[in-house]
């Protein structure tokens, strides 16, 4: 099936629909494996999942999560790490077991890097594979830290961050010079191995990125275009991003 393009009237509507899909998955399969993303884009989905947990008892006790990526050279408890961000947005507010939440370890020594990346891939497979992968689209078309040039065969690895990726993070870090220069990301092939892929894009600044994702044949110059190769991928947007 080609990439499904799903337009909602508002961002909140889109977030509710995606959160409800995740909730339905978790209710049907209490051991579901979720592929999670950081950034502004998924915040409302996480807020809605927290609400469903509190108000309807949505149970994450047996759910496993794997995040897309993490910065290198930041300790896990660094306020700017994606681990800290996930704790603040989701992990700290639902009954996910800490041992069931996985992010790459950006502090791993060079000598251990390859083993760590292989183990991260293996852990997703041992968990049964990712049931649903959430994605945002970066200004340069990246998915995870799969920056332009990343091909469809890439797996979990260390990457140098693109100048725009670092520029977009500069505000959060209080200056671009403080943004790490590298990260560890799952690969395009890892993302495409998920059973479902849900790409979210909200607001007018995402409209050109959405247009390019829909118009581009799968190509490493625009890594988000690779989701078009997936059999169950949806690009979920609000009206502003659809323009
Ligand atoms: P954003 O980032 O959600 O903060 O816009 C998207 C991304 O870089 O993947």
Nearest-atom number in ligand 1 for the CA of 205 is: 5
Q: What is the pLDDT of residues 147-185, one digit of tens each?
A: 999 999 999 999 999 999 999 999 999 999 999 999 999
Mean pLDDT of 69-85: 94
Residue 136 Cβ inside 6 Å of ligand 1? The answer reads: yes
80 is catalytic: no
Query: What does the buried/exposed string (b/e) look like for 2-26 if buried means 16 or more CB atoms within 10 Å of the residue's CB?
Result: ebeebebeebeebbbbbbebbbebb
The per-residue pLDDT for 76 is 81
Sequence-ordered list of residues with C-beta below 8 angstroms from that of 174, at least 6 positions apart, any chain: none
Residue 42: what pLDDT? Answer: 98
pLDDT at 210 over 80: yes
Helices 82-89, 43-56: inter-axial angle, 10-degree rounding = 40
Residue with CA nearest ligand 1 atom 8: 138
Relative to the CA of 41, which ligand 1 atom is closest?
3
Among 138, 162, 183, say which to mutate for ligand 1: greatest number of ligand atoms within 8 Å of CB.
138
From 48, 105, 131, 147, active-site residue: 147
pLDDT value for 192: 98
pLDDT of 203 over the 90 cut: yes
Among 242, 213, 239, CA closest to 228: 213
Tokens at 154, concatenated: 């890439």
Percent of the chain with pLDDT over 90: 98
100 is catalytic: no
Tell me the C-alpha distance between 78 and 84, whole Å: 7
Judge whether residue 1 has pLDDT over 80: no
Distance from the alpha carbon of residue 24 to the mean position of ligand 1, in angstroms: 25
For the chain, give the mean pLDDT.
97
Q: Is the pTM of this model over 0.95?
A: yes
Residue 40 is among the residues annotated as catalytic for this protein: no
Q: What's the CA gap between 155 and 231, in Å, rounded? A: 19
Sequence-ordered list of residues with C-beta below 8 angstroms from that of 109, at least 6 positions apart, any chain? none
Which candidate in 13, 80, 93, 140 is catalytic? 140
Start-to-end Cα distance in the chain: 23
Q: What is the DSSP string of 34-85?
A: EEE--SSTTHHHHHHHHHHHHHH----TT-EEEESEEETTS-TTSTTSHHHH
What is the average pLDDT across 63-74? 97
Ligand 1 pocket, 203 CB below 6 A?
no
Per the CB < 8 A criterion, the answer to whether 157 and 116 are in contact is: no
Q: How far is the CA of 64 from the centre of ligand 1 (A)?
A: 23
Model confidence at 125, in pLDDT bands (50, 70, 90)? very high
**How is residue 103 written in tokens?**
């992010």
HSE-up of residue 232 (Cα within 13 Å, Cβ side): 9
- Give yes or no for a contact between 3 and 214, defined as CB atoms under 8 angstroms apart: yes
Neighbours of 128 (CB within 10 A): 13
H/E stretch holding 234 reads strand 233-238
pLDDT digits (tens, 9 = 90+) for 26-48: 999 999 999 999 999 999 999 99
Of 136, 166, 224, best ligand 1 pocket probe by most atoms within 8 Å of the beta carbon: 136
């Amino acid at each position: 099936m080609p990439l499904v393009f799903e337009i909602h009237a508002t961002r909140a509507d889109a977030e509710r629909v995606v959160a409800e899909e995740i909730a339905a998955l978790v209710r049907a399969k209490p051991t579901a494996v979720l592929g999670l993303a950081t950034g502004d884009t998924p915040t409302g989905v996480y807020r809605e999942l927290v609400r469903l947990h509190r108000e309807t008892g949505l149970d994450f006790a047996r759910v496993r999560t794997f995040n897309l990526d993490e910065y290198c050279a930041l300790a896990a408890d660094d306020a700017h790490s994606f681990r800290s961000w996930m704790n603040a947005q989701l992990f700290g507010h639902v009954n996910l077991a800490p041992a069931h939440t996985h992010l790459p370890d950006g502090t791993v020594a060079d000598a251990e890097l390859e083993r760590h990346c292989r183990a991260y891939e293996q852990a997703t497979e041992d968990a049964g594979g990712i049931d649903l992968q959430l994605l945002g689209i970066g200004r340069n078309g990246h998915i995870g830290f799969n920056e332009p040039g990343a091909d469809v065969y890439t797996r979990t690895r260390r990457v140098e961050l693109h100048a725009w990726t670092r520029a977009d993070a500069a505000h959060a870090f209080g200056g671009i010079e403080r943004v790490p220069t590298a990260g560890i990301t799952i690969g395009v092939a890892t993302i495409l191995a998920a059973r479902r892929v849900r790409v979210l894009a909200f607001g007018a600044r995402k409209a050109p990125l959405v247009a390019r994702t829909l118009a581009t044949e799968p190509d490493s110059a625009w890594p988000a275009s690779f989701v078009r190769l997936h059999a169950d991928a949806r690009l979920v947007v609000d009206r502003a991003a659809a323009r």
